[in-house]
Amino acid sequence: MGQTSTMTIRLPETIKNKLEDLAQATDRSKAYLAAKAIEEFVTTQEWQIQAIQEAVKEADSPQAKFIEHDVVVKKMKARMARRKGK
């Protein structure tokens, strides 16, 4: 896990109680569960931000191709009608 440091946070009482119940049920400490939850949240957010930045970069490139919304809707309606007819 590497080096750790201490951090104080404020939680709504209901979340604190649920965390205590979960810690007891899983035989883990509240600190362990909170650290794992924060780690998972941060990892997900980092991935999402990176994916968004890559998508924006791709959309801004001269090679980017876009299709008008009404064209997509028309194609999707035609596709759904064909599937419904099967």
Residue 54 in tokens: 């890559």
Positions in the chain short of pLDDT 70:
1, 86
What is the pLDDT, as a whole number, of residue 14? 98
Q: Are 18 and 29 in contact (CB under 8 A)?
A: no
Q: 22-56 in b/e burial notation, b at 16+ Cβ within 10 A? A: ebeeeeeeeeeebeeeeeeeeeeeeeeeeeeeeee
Domain ranges in the chain?
13-85
The pLDDT of residue 1: 60
Cα–Cα distance between 6 and 71 in angstroms, integer?
54
